[in-house]
Structure 1
Amino acid sequence: MSGSEKPPEAVAAAAVQAMGEAPPQTLHVAETAAGVSVTARSAAHPPSAVPETNGDDENKAAAAALKGLSSAEVEQLREKYGWNEVKGKKAPWWQDLLLRYFSLVPLILLIAAILGAAVEKDGQRDWVGFGLLLGLMNVVVLADFFVDKSSANAMEAVEKLSAPTCVCRRDGKWETVAVRELVPGDVVSLRGGAVVPADGRLIGEGEPMSIDESSLTGESLPATKRVGDDVLSGGTVVRGELPMIVEKTGYDSFFGKTIALLDKGEGEVGHLRKVLSKAATIIIVAGALICLAILAIKIFRDQEYWLVALELAFVILAVAAPAGFSLVTAFVLSEGAKVMASEKAVVQRLSAIEEMAGMEILCSDKTGTLTKNQLSLDPDEAILAEGVSKEDLLLLSSFASVALDEHPEPIDLAIGTAAQKIEGYEASRKAYKMTRFIPFNPVDKVAVAFLETTAGGPKVEIVKGAPHIIRNMVVEAAQEGEREQLLQFIEDGIANKASRGLRTLGVARKERDSEGKGDWKLLGYVSLFDPPRDDTKDTIERAHDLGVEVKMITGDQQAIAIETARRLGMGTDIMGPEIWECDTAATPFFGSPNFTEYCKKVAGFSGVYPEHKFAVVEALMKFGAQVGMTGDGVNDAPALKRATVGVAVAGATEAARAAADIALLAPGLSTIVTALILSRQIFRRVETYIIYRIACSTLYLLFFFLALWAFKFEFPSWILVVLGMLNDISQIVTGYDRVVSDKYPKRWSMVEVSVKAFTMGIVATGGNLLFVWLSAQSGGEMDLNLEEDHQSFWSAWGLRDLSDAELVASVYLNMSINVQLMFFACRTKELFWFPRDTTKMPPLSILSVLFAILLGSTFLAVYIPDVHMGATPIEGMPWPHAGVTWLYGLVTVFFMDLFKFVVFFIYSTPFSSLTGPLRLRFGSPEERRRQAEKELRKMQRERQAEQMKRPGAIMRKVSESQQVFSAAASAHAERVQRRSHAANTISAGVPRFVREMPPSSASGVAGVGLTPEEELQMAVFRAASLPSGALPPVFYRN
């Protein structure tokens, strides 16, 4: 039977069954009648114990196993094993829907509906209110259910855009496939940064791998995996490169079986949800207290039957409760996530949208983000050691690179492409045989090739890596009298290339003796050019205009970083690797306030390792800033996770994408800035809705309470339901509002939100109470607690007085106008009828919904028949009265917006700066301060860029930073030593009660009943007890 005719089940089953044997070390591959049989060799059973086969047959079988499956075999196996995906168990849709009826607001509405139908008032039951309350309950539940479902579907669609992929052997060639498409028997290539896509076993030849399985096994250190060892899905490859044959997928894998035990994964509660929860709790508690007061007034003052009063209290609480908080917010965020996905920024955590809106600092990698990552290698720019030709340098460096047909990284691709252009390249390579290859990893920053000459010459090692790593290796191995000269040669060469924007990689050679020892000899440095992206400079300018500082964090040498920063206008205060030498076990520097302050001031860092990125992000966050971090490698994952917003750039490893909050699908920094603008717009939509909903709840609670207390005025319960229902329906479309992105980072301020919301709610309450007083007249059927000779203002308009039932309709229309038009006032801090460039008109969809609701409310207030049904009577009013009501409502909204502007102006402006006209023209003092700082930073960057254009300026900058940090390291070590000495010498002389007292307590008794000498001892003791780097300024003096 030919290979194409072998049943795919036989291929997978033979492989999986053989893989189950224990404990394997190497794999033996043999071709059988059933297909490809893969058996495991144990260390206890050497190859001689395995049935003998022809050597050629073994080679053919091994090649067949590494060839992978065909497309036809994959399709047949997928029918049997399904997709390689694991999803947490979810409750049936009907169960999810049913449970929503048992949440707080639906239960309140249900109780109010039952009370309305069960209690008779004036011989009638409120069946209208009963039906509307049940209708509102269903609207709340169904809207919540379908919006959640729509949001979940939107997020699933977004997640598909960033679905994990892997490199798999299909149809005899390596190709990128989605992880969910893997089946047992597939051969997958694992390399540094990859997440193991399924359970399997390592095959092939190569160095042991280091795989982090801490999230699966609980082991804190990465495990070493050799050929034949099991690997579990979900592990992260830290270093190494080997193929893997898939054994188990989906729910059959270790990870799948673990997930199957869970009912449903708990989602992370973001900061926004916490704020909303607190705001909703405050509103409901305040509403409950006001409703208790209403209940007391109705029962004890008005002598109302307690069940009737209880029904009214429940209805008011249900209308005031922010039932749509989570609904509308989730809708706005999910719609925003879809928009961001269309701009190639995939949101993996919804709360990251809110956090990105407040991002103040963006730490960006250089290669691939600020630059094109399209490396070109010019052999004529190579730095050559004595006696080495550029052809030899390229040839030997190509051995320490991934082959062109194995998905090489850009650096290896550039080296391989340049090497292939050498005359006689193929013949020259045949002079060597590579016996072992250790691929590059971001921890060691080198790749090593072990060679043997085919002519029987010496065994050779070729190392290729970061310039400073190769420099240290060859200088250390050089003769004593040659080290200084060699060091000067290397540093001058690297500096010369770096000052022209060329990136260098060192290459060295070691000939091993019979004991495997030898000295490293420099071959030279290859020069690579990675040009900045065409749009990066303009993108950074946009980021600066948005109040976001961009810092470069790169592993490249300092001179290249400075030159790149100069070209991009980022500022040239780029620190070199010397800063990391300040941090030692004896003199810790990373956690000190000095390091935090330094990270805030500089423009970036060079020569960094992954742990340095984490330290920088952590220091900036300690400063109180919201920090964004970009990354693409497995070792960037801790920093991405630690940052306020982690951003995985295009082409990032699966480990980096898993740790990030946002994954980019397009290369470059422009996508991040676009996502930043969109996140601020989304934040503003959410903020507008929250302000609006709190203002509405304030109006409902205060008006119903004060109107009942002052005028004994009340609405029919069903009218309250209509008012609340229309209000919630109108706000679902806020996710489509057109807003302007803020010029500066956004921080969530509940105080600011409350000031705006309560101001508008209180002013609207006052306007509606005044309307009741102006519209009512004494002597009506309702006892409105008015003076006997009180006259309404309708006569001033030449209109007749309204009956009590018509008055209810008029008040309803006025309140509906206030509630709907309040949305325009909530959209801006300014006067909405005096727009600036910070405000756009709402889209036609929102205007249409608001117009339809207001039109419907107007017709309801005019044409509603006389309805009693056991509730407060209501009857339609004449059209002229409706016109006056509209005019009054518009005036109320005008004054509501004016009061909001004035109060917010006073709140946000120091009393020493109350310059209204200046603020209207140039913004608030805070805005002017930010603008001045932005202009100052821009001038500094431009001046630094001009200085770096002078000949030799970059190298002088590098030298200056080295001197500064050499002095800083010495001063820091001296301070730590002085503090330790002070603690040791003063401890014995300090009274026992002081030594045993915590520093915080000791600071509280200084100067109380102590002599001057004891006070001095106390001060020194407190200083010596502070943590590292936390001494007061006086103790930092030399």
Structure 2
Amino acid sequence: MMQKDDLKLDEMQGLSSQQAAEGLKEHGYNEINEKEESEWHRMFRRFWGPIPWMIETAALLSAFAQRWEDFAIILVLLLVNSGVDYYQESKALSAIRVLKQKLAHMALVLRDGKWVQLASRELVPQDIIKLKSGDIVPADARLVGGGDFLSVDQSALTGESLPVQREAKEDVYANAIIKQGEMMAIVTATGGATYFGKTVELVARAQKEERSHFQKMVMNVGNFLIAITVVMITVIIAVGLYRHEPTLDLLVFALVLMISAIPVAMPAVLTVTMAVGASVLAKKEAIVSHLAAIEELAGMDVLCSDKTGTLTQNKMKISEPYVVGLENADALLFYASLACKEENSDPIEEPIFTYVKAHGLYEKLSGYTLKKFLPFDPVGKRTEALLSLKADGSELTVTKGAPQVVIELCNNDFDKSEAYAQVEAFAHKGFRTLGVAYRESGDEAYRFAGLVPLFDPPREDSEEAVADARAKGVNVKMVTGDNIAVAAYIAGVLKIGEKIEDVRELKGESIEEYLILSKVLAEVMTKKMWPKASEEETSELVSGIVSEVKKQLIAVELPKGSVKKHESEIIAMIEKADGFAQVYPEDKYFIVDELQKAGHIVGMTGDGVNDAPALKKADCGIAVSGATDAARAAADIVLMTPGLHIIIEAVSIARITFERMKSYAIYRIAETIRVIIFMTLAIVVFKFYPITALMIIFLALLNDIPILTIAYDNTKVREN
């Protein structure tokens, strides 16, 4: 059966209304379905769980013993704890709502042979849509023609700010923005089936542990105290019955003793302590939206950091240019600026204009009149500007673009092999390189002017922040959608480490096994076809074949799972890696999940929609300065100041807060054991009740009031 994208454009009629209606029945509306929990369920869920059970048990025992004052106090504590928790969760639940609002609202669709404007929610797979500059892509689609190319901003999906070029038979994804061009496309996926929809579903599915690590410890403390109390009460009741003491008095006393042993005020004390810590963090411009994140931040041992905008400035800059046949770099950059249009606000061209302005060359541009401008296209891979000098009317043609293309246009006296070697050197550093050439009146061919390397530089404080993190026992792993060369360069500059993994290695799409196989085959074939070749000739030929195979493998998408890896092997790879390249949202989520399975407490920084699932899944999700609303809503901590240094400072503050909480827990254990053992010894050994049941209640509750000051205690913690 012929597919839609095999049809010629003039034969396309689009779906009929009937086909579209059937498509809606089969696939549903092009929107993200969200199963919302009712407010009542969310509210009552606060009263269900180990810690609420402990407090509720204490309240019931108080009511059974008719200690109504105690019952009222315990009930107030329960309501306060539940109310604070409910409020914190309400703020976090806005993540999916923010993501839903980002979907496009209208689309130009071919229906019944006519172009019509429809709500994007009514799109179905196989619909034909038209995309043009400024449009938000309403669904995943495959380009089929109607233009040469599209320049697409996919930052909503990948987080990388530079637009990418897309041609016919290539895919574009929902919520990407068309920056340049106009083409038709066939819808391939809608709603939750789109890449963007899957990101939202990941956020919805990204559930943290039901209880934090510290809450688990608190539960263990509570269980320990109750176990000791049960043993002691059993002893007291047994001794009392042996002495023929009144049974009712024994039971009432035992119940009150049990109430005093249950750490009723513990959640309240811990909440106050964390709230004080959150207040200190807020003064440092780190806003805590989920109080339990303070505990996790304190124990965090792995920080997965997004590269763009977190470790780097997210702003292209010019490195050392390679100049040929011109006086200096100023002349090269001036020629490059002549082949740019400032009004396009192209992120590749902006640093060129920044340079010419900083070096006093911008005014010289007014001395030229632009007669013709050819914009960049994926086929020619260069821009070209025809200008005339206002002073004498002489013409000048300047071109810039892919260095290999520009170099081949030129025939002036320069060393092409040296130029290509320089292009390779820039590529190994992860730089994007522009070739620049010019042609004056009377010239038949272009003259090569040089190469302009561009890169996204690291933030000034990133290297120091990474070192501080390592000193505190936090292992920073860089996560980026960029290629390995870019990731390796930034990781090297910041001293993060040298082991950068292609995420395809983790997903069973490794090319290493294929390269080993290709090397073996190349060696066998070479020896069969050229048996007289020397070892050096054979080695050179095999290396060339393997190198070409590697280029081809990198360019194609390997089937997932083509190379099987056991989960333990994948976890080991993730733990050993210093960073990950070619990463998509589901990969970030996967990396965090695998690290958690290995027992790590994982922090994740991010700023884009693409980071939201991993931010929510992480033990401590950190939205950096300038983050999107979706990232902020999914995160536990939102930073108002850029850079990693504030995160490291926040770790120190969180550890101080955690130390205070630990001190309280230790105090509560000691105090409870003291009271229980004192009462048991007094009754069993000395045969008298030293204090009344009411005194026990007051002793237990009043002990927790002064200990609230521990939230403000001056605490010192070890660096690591």
Instruction: Specify if TM > 0.5.
Output: yes
Distance 1:356 1:277 in 2: 20
Residue 311 of structure 1 and its aligned partner are, at CA, apart by: 0.5
Distance 1:608 1:359 in 2: 25
Query: Does the CA contact (< 8 Å) of 1:629 and 1:640 recur in 2?
Result: yes
Give the corresponding residue for 1:143.
77
For 1:582, which of 502, 512, 518 is the aligned residue? 512
Cα-to-partner distance string for 1:800-857 (whole Å, 9 max, x where unaligned): xxxxxxxxxxxxxxxxxxxxxxxxxxxxxxxxxxxxxxxxxxxxxxxxxxxxxxxxxx
Residue 685 of structure 1 and its aligned partner are, at CA, apart by: 1.7
Give the corresponding residue for 2:498.
573
Query: Does the CA contact (< 8 Å) of 1:109 and 1:314 recur in 2?
Result: no
Give the corresponding residue for 1:368.
309
3-state DSSP class of the match of 1:327? helix
Give the corresponding residue for 1:279.
221
Amino acid at match of 1:205: K
Cα-to-partner distance string for 1:214-252 (whole Å, 9 max, x where unaligned): xxxxxxxx67899xxxxxxx9997662169xxxxxxxxx
Distance 2:41 2:477 in 1: 48
Residue 631 of structure 1 and its aligned partner are, at CA, apart by: 3.0
Cα gap change, 1:737 to 1:134, in 2 (>3 Å): farther
Residue 681 of structure 1 and its aligned partner are, at CA, apart by: 1.3
Cα-to-partner distance string for 1:334-374 (whole Å, 9 max, x where unaligned): 33233323322233443332222222233434443334445
Give the corresponding residue for 2:660.
685
Give the corresponding residue for 1:304.
245
Cα-to-partner distance string for 1:65-104 (whole Å, 9 max, x where unaligned): xxxxxxxxxxxxxxxxxxxxx9975459999999999965
Distance 1:369 1:98 in 2: 39
Cα gap change, 1:689 to 1:656, in 2 (>3 Å): same
Confirm whether residue 325 of structure 1 aligns to residue 303 of structure 2.
Answer: no
TM-score scaled to structure 1, two decimals?
A: 0.42
Confirm whether residue 736 of structure 1 aligns to residue 712 of structure 2.
Answer: yes
Query: Does the CA contact (< 8 Å) of 1:582 and 1:588 recur in 2?
Result: no
Query: Does the CA contact (< 8 Å) of 2:483 and 2:582 recur in 1?
Result: no
Residue 665 of structure 1 and its aligned partner are, at CA, apart by: 2.0
Give the corresponding residue for 1:240.
176
Residue 723 of structure 1 and its aligned partner are, at CA, apart by: 0.5
Confirm whether residue 134 of structure 1 aligns to residue 61 of structure 2.
Answer: no
Give the corresponding residue for 2:466.
540
For 2:351, which of 401, 405, 414 is the aligned residue? 414
Query: Does the CA contact (< 8 Å) of 1:536 and 1:669 recur in 2?
Result: yes
Cα-to-partner distance string for 1:384-409 (whole Å, 9 max, x where unaligned): 899x975675566659xx944xxx76
Residue 108 of structure 1 and its aligned partner are, at CA, apart by: 4.2
Pairwise mapping of residues 788-803 of structure 1 onto structure 2 (< 5 A)?
none
Give the corresponding residue for 1:355.
296
Distance 2:486 2:465 in 1: 20
Give the corresponding residue for 1:709.
684
Distance 1:344 1:163 in 2: 25
Amino acid at match of 2:572: T
Cα gap change, 1:575 to 1:272, in 2 (>3 Å): closer
Structure 2 alignment gaps of length 5 or more: 1-12, 18-34, 108-119, 124-128, 145-155, 159-172, 180-196, 387-398, 410-414, 437-447, 515-560
Cα gap change, 1:333 to 1:583, in 2 (>3 Å): farther
Query: Does the CA contact (< 8 Å) of 2:615 and 2:621 recur in 1?
Result: yes
Query: Does the CA contact (< 8 Å) of 2:621 and 2:636 recur in 1?
Result: yes
Distance 1:592 1:708 in 2: 56
Residue 307 of structure 1 and its aligned partner are, at CA, apart by: 1.3
Cα-to-partner distance string for 1:589-636 (whole Å, 9 max, x where unaligned): 695649836853x6x447544477667656765665434333334444
Give the corresponding residue for 1:495.
425
Amino acid at match of 1:275: M
Pairwise mapping of residues 723-872 of structure 1 onto structure 2 (< 5 A)?
723-744=699-720
Amino acid at match of 1:355: E
Query: Does the CA contact (< 8 Å) of 2:340 and 2:349 recur in 1?
Result: no
Cα gap change, 1:541 to 1:105, in 2 (>3 Å): closer
3-state DSSP class of the match of 1:431? strand
Distance 1:667 1:412 in 2: 25
Give the corresponding residue for 2:453.
527
Distance 1:335 1:225 in 2: 54
Amino acid at match of 2:604: M
3-state DSSP class of the match of 1:369? helix
Distance 1:163 1:342 in 2: 28
3-state DSSP class of the match of 1:628? strand
Confirm whether residue 505 of structure 1 aligns to residue 432 of structure 2.
Answer: yes
Cα gap change, 1:582 to 1:524, in 2 (>3 Å): farther
Cα gap change, 1:537 to 1:110, in 2 (>3 Å): closer
Q: Return the structure number with greater relative CO, CA threshold 8 A, min gap 6.
A: 2
Distance 2:367 2:563 in 1: 52
Query: Does the CA contact (< 8 Å) of 1:356 and 1:628 recur in 2?
Result: yes
For 1:628, which of 603, 620, 625 is the aligned residue? 603
Query: Does the CA contact (< 8 Å) of 2:480 and 2:581 recur in 1?
Result: yes
3-state DSSP class of the match of 2:674? helix
Cα gap change, 1:697 to 1:619, in 2 (>3 Å): same
Cα-to-partner distance string for 1:547-593 (whole Å, 9 max, x where unaligned): 2333445566777767766665x266354869864376554569564
3-state DSSP class of the match of 2:310? coil
RMSD: 5.9
For 2:476, which of 547, 550, 570 is the aligned residue? 550
Distance 2:656 2:617 in 1: 25
Amino acid at match of 2:176: G
Distance 1:94 1:288 in 2: 32
Pairwise mapping of residues 653-672 of structure 1 onto structure 2 (< 5 A)?
653-672=628-647
Residue 546 of structure 1 and its aligned partner are, at CA, apart by: 1.8
Query: Does the CA contact (< 8 Å) of 2:381 and 2:405 recur in 1?
Result: no
Distance 1:542 1:586 in 2: 40
Query: Does the CA contact (< 8 Å) of 2:479 and 2:583 recur in 1?
Result: no
Cα gap change, 1:350 to 1:559, in 2 (>3 Å): same
Residue 649 of structure 1 and its aligned partner are, at CA, apart by: 2.2
For 1:295, which of 217, 220, 237 is the aligned residue? 237
Residue 319 of structure 1 and its aligned partner are, at CA, apart by: 0.5
Query: Does the CA contact (< 8 Å) of 1:346 and 1:664 recur in 2?
Result: yes
Give the corresponding residue for 1:721.
697
Distance 2:229 2:688 in 1: 18
Confirm whether residue 431 of structure 1 aligns to residue 373 of structure 2.
Answer: yes
Query: Does the CA contact (< 8 Å) of 2:479 and 2:580 recur in 1?
Result: yes
Query: Does the CA contact (< 8 Å) of 2:230 and 2:258 recur in 1?
Result: yes
Query: Does the CA contact (< 8 Å) of 1:681 and 1:742 recur in 2?
Result: no
Aligned-pair identity (%):
26
Distance 1:301 1:429 in 2: 110
Residue 708 of structure 1 and its aligned partner are, at CA, apart by: 1.4
Distance 2:272 2:475 in 1: 31
Residue 139 of structure 1 and its aligned partner are, at CA, apart by: 2.1
3-state DSSP class of the match of 1:269? coil
Give the corresponding residue for 1:751.
none
Cα gap change, 1:186 to 1:94, in 2 (>3 Å): same
Pairwise mapping of residues 966-981 of structure 1 onto structure 2 (< 5 A)?
none
Pairwise mapping of residues 40-79 of structure 1 onto structure 2 (< 5 A)?
none
Distance 1:597 1:621 in 2: 14
Amino acid at match of 1:495: A
